[in-house]
Amino acid sequence: MSSPRKTMVVKIGSSTLVREGAIQRTFIAGLARQAAVLAERGWSLVVVSSGAIACGAPVLGFSRRPTDMPSLQACASVGQCVLSAAYDEEFRASGLLTSLVLLTRSDTAQRSSYLHARDTLTRLVELGVVPIVNENDTVVVDEIRFGDNDTLAALVACLVSADLCVTLSDIDGLYTANPALDPTARFIPRVDKIDASIIGAAGDSSTSVGTGGMITKIRASRILMTAGIPSVICSGEAPDPLVRLAAGEAVGTRFEPPADRLDIAPRKLWIALGDAAHGRVTVDAGAARALTEHGSSLLPVGITGVLGSFGEGDVLDIADETGLVIARGIAEASSDELELAAGRRQDELAQNRLLAGLAHKPAVHRDNLIVFA
């Protein structure tokens, strides 16, 4: 009996795809050759590709990335055609068919739309197609954008139940500090837990053509660890990194999920990734322990602060006293109600006519809450 096929998601940054306004066809050709080798070895590939705006800007005569929204969207519209043509031609030369999938937050914020996106991507992979996924920058506005393709890659990896998610970057992995600024920075080959020290080691993007830096890659890797999906950050210039990673070779920095993160309910993954957080609550140390160690619901008494404006049913982040986001969940009450209820015990809430409704339910129920690894 043949082994089941595995799926790899690879995210490619703008700085890897576009240099001095020119699309790197040699890089895409090399990626296609790797995809063909992977296919022969039982792996399917999904590509999350940045670069539409960077490709379109020089075609439209811009000497640098524009800043106004209509110009950015025009660049994305033209650049997406250029980028898609390059992927199609180079992958066809290696005997592979590609497709274009453009997403926005509005496509995944609703659970039903999220499932439709999952079904489409899964079917494309089953048919042997290499989907090329990007944010739909031609129509997207701030309210419905992912903001960076690192988050989009994590979403896609969860949608297709990937076995590995790889980020090809302009740096060879994670360091203890920004190596461009600190000569004493040490390379980190493996991360088993993303804590404040790992987040603190993440520096900003070193290029002007992209929107994400190392911090967005770390946040995406943390979500993937929560989902039980290993991920790797490595250099796009490394020789055949995807083939080597599929063979089990160590390349770049690997983020390894804990062993107990193998059975996360799909609905909880949607809570983690499908929609952006509409607000944030800060909790005390006792509530943080109850959430992370005991799988408890979040009660109003454990809340010490409320940030943002959100309604009942909205997704919100839950942070500990240090500011580290430890969980994400669906609010059982509005920000106004939780602000008034914060720090109050259930019996106190029951005696308050405005807040009595919160005396018999949590601020976030554990069934609608996902704790990050």
Based on the domain organization, do 106 and 150 belong to the same domain? yes
Q: Distances from the Cα of 245 to the Cαs of 14, 26, 340, in angstroms?
A: 22, 21, 51
> Which pLDDT score, from 0 to 100, does residue 214 have?
83
Based on the domain organization, do 346 and 244 belong to the same domain? no
> Which pLDDT score, from 0 to 100, does residue 2 have?
56
Structure tokens at 204: 């900003």
Q: What is residue 215's DSSP assignment?
A: H
Looking at the DSSP assignment, which residues form a beta bridge with residue 317?
Answer: 280, 328
> Which pLDDT score, from 0 to 100, does residue 90 have?
97
SS3 call for 365? coil
Based on the domain organization, do 217 and 355 belong to the same domain? no
Q: Report which of 74, 100, 68, 82 is spatially closest to residue 21, judged by C-alpha positions.
A: 82
Based on the domain organization, do 286 and 259 belong to the same domain? no
Based on the domain organization, do 181 and 300 belong to the same domain? no
Based on the domain organization, do 251 and 367 belong to the same domain? no
Residue 271 lies in a domain: no
Burial (0-12, 13-18, 19+ Cβ within 10 Å), 79: buried
> Which pLDDT score, from 0 to 100, does residue 142 have?
52
> Which pLDDT score, from 0 to 100, does residue 254 have?
97
Domains in the chain: how many in total? 2
Based on the domain organization, do 260 and 299 belong to the same domain? no
Tell me which of 266, 292, 311 is where a domain ends: 266
Q: Report which of 55, 202, 229 is spatially closest to residue 132, judged by C-alpha positions.
A: 55
Residue 272 lies in a domain: no
Residue 182 lies in a domain: yes
**What spatial distance separates the first Cα and last Cα of the chain, rounded to whole Å?**
35
Give the separation between CA 202 and CA 197, rounded to whole angstroms.
9
Based on the domain organization, do 262 and 281 belong to the same domain? no
Q: Residue 165 belongs to what domain range?
A: 6-266
SS3 call for 353? coil
Query: 52-59 and 69-93 are packed helices; what angle lies between their axes, rounded to 10 degrees?
Result: 110
Q: What is residue 238's DSSP assignment?
A: S
Tell me which of 238, 266, 294 is where a domain ends: 266
Return the residue matching tokens 């999920």: 257
Question: Structure pTM?
Answer: 0.86
CATH code of residue 343: 2.30.130.10
> Which pLDDT score, from 0 to 100, does residue 206 have?
40
Structure tokens at 184: 């004493």
Residue 1 lies in a domain: no
Looking at the DSSP assignment, which residues form a beta bridge with residue 133?
Answer: 48, 101
The strand ranges marked E within the chain are: 6-12, 18-19, 22-23, 43-49, 98-103, 130-135, 164-169, 174-175, 187-188, 190-191, 231-235, 253-255, 280-283, 303-307, 315-319, 325-330, 369-371
Based on the domain organization, do 241 and 286 belong to the same domain? no
**Could you list the mean pLDDT of each consecutive 10-residue stretch along the chain, which spans 373 residues?**
83 87 91 98 96 90 88 91 95 97 83 90 97 83 62 92 94 87 90 84 48 77 91 94 97 89 73 85 97 94 96 95 93 96 94 90 95 86
Tell me which of 218, 244, 266 is where a domain ends: 266
Give the separation between CA 25 and CA 60, rounded to whole angstroms.
19
SS3 call for 352? coil
Based on the domain organization, do 109 and 157 belong to the same domain? yes
Return the residue matching tokens 């990050």: 372
Give the separation between CA 291 and CA 298, rounded to whole angstroms.
7
Structure tokens at 247: 């063979």
> Which pLDDT score, from 0 to 100, does residue 168 have?
94
Q: Report which of 364, 223, 229 is spatially closest to residue 290, judged by C-alpha positions.
A: 364
CATH code of residue 161: 3.40.1160.10
Residue 151 lies in a domain: yes
Q: Which stretches of 127-213 are DSSP H helices?
A: 149-159, 196-201
Contacts of residue 328, defined as CB under 8 A and 6 or more positions apart, other chains included, come to 271, 272, 277, 315, 316, 317, 318, 369, 370, 372
Query: Contact 269/115 with Cβ under 8 angstroms?
Result: no
Based on the domain organization, do 90 and 176 belong to the same domain? yes
Based on the domain organization, do 323 and 254 belong to the same domain? no
Query: CA 110: distance to chain centroid?
Result: 17
Residue 83 phi/psi, 5-degree rounding, is: -65, -45
> Which pLDDT score, from 0 to 100, does residue 263 have?
62
